[in-house]
Amino acid sequence: MTYRLLMLWLLGYAFTWTVTTVLVDPTVPYDAIEALNWGQNMEWGSPKNPWLVGMVFWPALWFPALSLNVYWYATHFLAIAVGMAGCWFLARRLSASEPLAWLALLTLNLSGLINFDIISYNDNYLLVMLWPWMMLFFVQAISRSHRWWLAFAVAAGLATMAKYSTLALVGGVFLSTLLVPSVRRCYNHPVFYLALLIYFILVTPNIIWLWQHDFAAFRWVDSQIDAGLNLSLFTALLTIFYPLFFLWWILRLSGCRPGWPGDTQQRILLGVYWLPLVIICAWFLFHRGGRLTEWLQPFFILAPAIMVSCTQEKLQQMPRIACFSLGLFALLVLGGYSAVMVTNIANAGEKWSGIIPFSQQVDNAWRERYGTPLAFVGGANLAQWLTFYAPSRPHIITRWDNATQPNIYNAHLQREELKRKGVLLIGEYSQKCTANTFHQVLRQWPELYIDTMQPVMFQGDRAHNARLVCLGFIAPQAY
């Protein structure tokens, strides 16, 4: 009955949030454009993340009938549901109490991490999915059987290939194998070396990609950070971990006094969790930028499970008032999010929604002129959005360059294919159609010639004025 109820809650959560976001969210975030592009390139890395972010989009590329925006939201909330299940199992394993496991799971309802806050990211939702299972497999490996190192290696390898910040936790696990005698015994078992091999099989292709592309992802992270005192760290910590205050309060009211865990494996997990978190916070205290909240956010998915394990008494049953309140809060968050979008508060319900009809308009203009699907787009950044929303699903024509390291690019571009299928170019905002409008783009492709140019109006949403945009048509070879 417990597993059935858990499955019902998680699938209901994923389905409800997927349907809601598809219906009320005006457009996907820019991270979706990045993920699609990296999936199209099918490389072992990208300018910001390893290969898993792009690989998630492969099924949407293999089955063109799939709606890209529905796919974006569905994969997010299915991944979140898997991560929530991991939180429940980790909490039950650490606390040996199903009521405490449910309390940890329902505490997640107090955080935007599992709903509206996670939509904007193409990587953090994968960490939310993988980190709880990774740490559960670690606990199993040091307490039950060394064979669990194999599962840990797979989860850790995939999480590392979702975002490099996973190396913080993996580094903590590695230190525990060196410093804790009971964990250090893993080096006496061949299965541990097989686990190491699995991990390096997963991450080595990305290391090679980074070497070939001048370590673009690390250079991008470095470009986001400047030295300087950063007191906003404390605000970020409060906005991320505030649900733990409510969890502590519920535990106190239920007679469960928080305390240092007596179990050795639980203390080891605390060290693995806190050491990298403290180091990251210490670093960002003296460095500004770097999307601090984005770095800290995934750590919260582990926090409720770890907190319920640090109790002196075990909860015999879930307090009804706590269960009701936390469940009700989940509905309030869903209703509040929907209300904000439907009533368009602060333009949230219409932001950038004009890109959808614009993409369809441009795609139709190409088909009417040449009678073929639009295969390639280029020019201003606006063209990148057409790769997601234009019905033909065109590819970008920006080439990779180690000097400029473009975020969105085409890894498999061939000149002959461009000439054969043609290209649609989009100019900068308010730039008239003149002979020099696409000069910068055509410098990279001197063999391409503009067939005709057409001015159109683009309005991102009703909060912004319509602006002139020039379209440049490079005809397919048949024309």
Q: Which pLDDT does position 312 carry in this prediction?
A: 75
DSSP conformation letters of 132-186: HHHHHHHHHHHHT-TTHHHHHHHHHHHHHTT-TTHHHHHHHHHHHHHH-HHHHGG
Does residue 165 sit within a domain? Answer: yes
Q: CA-based diameter of the chain, in Å?
A: 79
pLDDT exceeds cutoff 70 at 174? yes
Does residue 479 sit within a domain? Answer: no
287 three-class SS = strand
pLDDT exceeds cutoff 70 at 95? yes
Residues 309 and 438 in one domain: no
Going by pLDDT thresholds of 50, 70 and 90, the confidence category of residue 314 is: confident
Q: Which pLDDT does position 245 carry in this prediction?
A: 94
> What are the pLDDT digits (tens) for 401-441?
999 999 999 999 988 999 999 999 999 998 889 877 898 88
- Interatomic CA distance for residues 378 and 438, integer angstroms: 10
Q: Which of 84, 254, 101, 271 is nearest to 177 (CA)?
A: 271
Does residue 158 sit within a domain? Answer: yes
Strand order of the β-sheet with 452-458 is 395-396, 376-379, 423-426, 467-474, 452-458
Average pLDDT of span 23-51: 96
- Interatomic CA distance for residues 170 and 149, integer angstroms: 12
The proportion of the chain whose per-residue pLDDT surpasses 90, expressed as a percent, equals 81
Distance from chain centroid for Cα 57: 12
pLDDT exceeds cutoff 90 at 475? yes
- Interatomic CA distance for residues 130 and 160, integer angstroms: 10
pLDDT exceeds cutoff 80 at 101? yes
Does residue 414 sit within a domain? Answer: yes
Residues 359 and 334 in one domain: no
Q: Which pLDDT does position 197 carry in this prediction?
A: 98
Average pLDDT of span 298-326: 87
Q: Which residue has the higher pLDDT, 260 or 238?
A: 238
In degrees, rounded to 5, the angle at the alpha carbon of residue 38 between the alpha carbons of residues 34 and 43 is 160
Residues 165 and 119 in one domain: yes
Strand 467-474 relative to strand 452-458: parallel, antiparallel, unpaired? antiparallel
**Domain end call among 296, 323, 346:** 346
Which value, in Å, is the radius of gyration of the alpha carbons in the chain?
Answer: 25
Residues 364 and 317 in one domain: no
- Of 41-45, 218-222, 456-460, the one with minimum mean pLDDT is 218-222
Q: Which of 13, 2, 3 is nearest to 327 (CA)?
A: 13
Q: Which pLDDT does position 221 carry in this prediction?
A: 86
Average pLDDT, the chain: 93
Domain range for 71 is: 2-346
- Interatomic CA distance for residues 87 and 90, integer angstroms: 5
Does residue 429 sit within a domain? Answer: yes
405 three-class SS = coil
Do the Cβ atoms of 137 and 151 come closer than 8 Å?
yes
pTM assigned to the model:
0.96
Q: Which pLDDT does position 134 carry in this prediction?
A: 98
- Interatomic CA distance for residues 225 and 52, integer angstroms: 24
pLDDT exceeds cutoff 70 at 479? no
> What are the pLDDT digits (tens) for 241-285?
999 999 999 998 888 877 888 788 899 999 999 999 999 999 999
Residues 399 and 292 in one domain: no
Phi, psi of 347, rounded to the nearest 5 degrees: 65, 15
> What are the pLDDT digits (tens) for 338-367?
999 999 999 999 999 999 999 999 999 999
Q: Which pLDDT does position 1 carry in this prediction?
A: 58
Token pair in block for residue 216: 């673009």
Residues 40 and 147 in one domain: yes
- Interatomic CA distance for residues 216 and 213, integer angstroms: 6
> What are the pLDDT digits (tens) for 280-310?
999 999 988 767 888 999 999 999 999 999 8
Does residue 288 sit within a domain? Answer: yes
Q: Which pLDDT does position 287 carry in this prediction?
A: 87
Residues 369 and 341 in one domain: no
Residues 420 and 314 in one domain: no
Residues 226 and 103 in one domain: yes
Q: Which pLDDT does position 320 carry in this prediction?
A: 83
Average pLDDT of span 154-175: 97
Q: Which pLDDT does position 330 carry in this prediction?
A: 95
- Of 8-22, 79-93, 134-148, 310-324, the one with minimum mean pLDDT is 310-324
Residues 298 and 167 in one domain: yes
pLDDT exceeds cutoff 90 at 34? yes
Does residue 66 sit within a domain? Answer: yes
**Domain end call among 323, 346, 369:** 346
**Domain end call among 292, 312, 346:** 346
Q: Which pLDDT does position 260 carry in this prediction?
A: 82
Q: How many domains does the chain have?
A: 2
Do the Cβ atoms of 54 and 46 come closer than 8 Å?
yes
pLDDT exceeds cutoff 70 at 69? yes
Q: Which of 319, 312, 317 is nearest to 258 (CA)?
A: 312
> What are the pLDDT digits (tens) for 47-57?
999 999 999 99
Average pLDDT of span 136-144: 96
Residues 34 and 113 in one domain: yes
Residues 334 and 389 in one domain: no
